[in-house]
């Protein structure tokens, strides 16, 4: 089975790179067809409004080229047009979709399983020169982290991160007799955040991932670990796990002008025996 790995399409902010008549769902369907991808693991941030992300996923279902497993990224939880503020409800709606792996690992043959969870921020990758209170404001003197305006969990960030880790571990232990492909939106490994000390990321690393999620690699047989969120592209092999960040990211940082070529360049592929 051939698995494609991709994240952070940001179809709204990257729309200006499309030619007239082009759409990201068509381009992605064409890419999956041309690359003969059986299963696409899409690690979040399709758009900045969950309605747009739902429409995109519906269209991908209509194209019916590859199976898709999807975890929402922080942007997919936004409701930038309607300003809906019940993020817990939006998460629940994502969990009710066919592409959702949370609480429902995707089994491949006898030996493999895909486990996924969006994950949230526990602030652990940031410098300890800031307090929890300062992180929870998501705003320094200048600038700020935009989730503070668009994401409204009932609980605080660290409680949400812990609850999602519990969901993740429950799913991991349910399939721990198989080789596991784990997918999160946020970063779960220190090699995928910005090295510290850093003038800006001493603070903003807080919102890139969750340090406590690193524990899962010692506890479960995770052969492949997929993440998104940080908008760079990287592969790392460590111990028995290969880590992937295959973010399309902002068109400002692309190598090419062409969204199809850039997606083809970004998508990673994993072959598993079934
Ligand atoms: Fe993103």
Contact 46, 9 (CB under 8 A): yes
Neighbouring residues of 186: CB distance < 8 A, sequence distance ≥ 6: 74, 118, 119, 120, 121, 208, 209, 210, 213, 227, 228, 229
Ligand 1 centroid to Cα of residue 96, in Å, is: 22
Ligand 1 centroid to Cα of residue 200, in Å, is: 18
Ligand 1 centroid to Cα of residue 274, in Å, is: 32
Ligand 1 centroid to Cα of residue 28, in Å, is: 17
Q: Is the dihedral of CA 60, 61, 66, 70 positive or negative?
A: positive
Ligand 1 centroid to Cα of residue 231, in Å, is: 6
User: What's the token pair of residue 248?
Assistant: 């399309």
Per-residue confidence in pLDDT tens, the chain, 274 aa? 999 999 999 999 999 999 999 999 999 999 999 999 999 999 999 999 999 999 999 999 999 999 999 999 999 999 999 999 999 999 999 999 999 999 999 999 999 999 999 999 999 999 999 999 999 999 998 789 999 999 999 999 999 999 999 999 999 999 999 999 999 999 999 999 999 999 999 999 999 999 999 999 999 999 999 999 999 999 999 999 999 999 999 999 999 999 999 999 999 999 999 9
Please state, in angstroms and rounded to a whole number, the distance separating the CA atoms of residues 72 and 122. 17
Closest CA to 66 of 38, 106, 29: 38
How many other CB atoms are there within 10 angstroms of residue 127's CB atom? 13
Ligand 1 centroid to Cα of residue 43, in Å, is: 10
Neighbouring residues of 128: CB distance < 8 A, sequence distance ≥ 6: none
Ligand 1 centroid to Cα of residue 209, in Å, is: 12
Helix axes 259-266, 24-34, angle to 10 degrees: 50
Ligand 1 centroid to Cα of residue 48, in Å, is: 9
pLDDT tens-place string over residues 135-181 = 999 999 878 999 999 999 999 999 999 999 999 999 999 999 999 99
Please write down the HEC assignment for all residues of 93-134: HHHCCCCCCCCCCEEECCCEEEEEECCCCCCCCCCCCCCHHH
Q: What CATH fold (topology level) applies to the domain 2-271?
A: Purple Acid Phosphatase; chain A, domain 2 (3.60.21)
Strands in 144-209 per DSSP E: 179-184
Contact 10, 47 (CB under 8 A): yes
Ligand 1 centroid to Cα of residue 19, in Å, is: 22
Ligand 1 centroid to Cα of residue 186, in Å, is: 9
């Amino acid at each position: 089975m051939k698995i494609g790995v991709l994240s952070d399409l940001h179809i709204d902010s990257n729309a200006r790179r499309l030619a007239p008549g082009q759409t990201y769902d068509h381009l992605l369907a064409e890419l999956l067809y041309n690359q003969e991808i059986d299963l696409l693991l899409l690690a979040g941030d399709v758009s900045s409004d969950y309605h747009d992300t739902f429409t995109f996923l519906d269209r991908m279902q209509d194209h019916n080229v590859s199976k898709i497993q999807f975890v929402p990224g922080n942007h997919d939880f936004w409701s930038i047009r309607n300003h809906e503020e019940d993020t817990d409800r939006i998460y629940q709606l994502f969990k009710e979709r066919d592409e959702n792996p949370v609480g429902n690992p995707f089994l491949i043959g006898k030996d493999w399983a895909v486990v996924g969870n969006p994950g949230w921020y526990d602030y652990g990758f940031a410098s300890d020169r800031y307090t929890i209170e300062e992180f929870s404001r998501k705003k320094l003197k200048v600038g700020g982290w935009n989730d503070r305006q668009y994401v409204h969990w009932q609980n605080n960030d660290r409680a949400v991160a812990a609850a999602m880790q519990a969901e993740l571990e429950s799913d991991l232990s349910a399939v721990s007799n198989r080789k596991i492909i784990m997918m999160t939106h946020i970063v779960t490994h220190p090699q995928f955040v910005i090295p510290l000390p850093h003038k800006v990321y001493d603070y903003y690393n807080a919102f890139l991932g969750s340090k406590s999620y690193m524990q899962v690699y010692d506890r479960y047989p995770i052969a492949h670990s997929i993440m998104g969120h940080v908008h760079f592209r990287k592969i790392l092999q460590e111990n028995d796990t290969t880590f992937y960040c295959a973010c399309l990211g902002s068109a400002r940082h692309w190598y090419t002008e062409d969204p199809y070529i850039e997606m083809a360049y970004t998508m990673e592929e994993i072959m598993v025996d079934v």
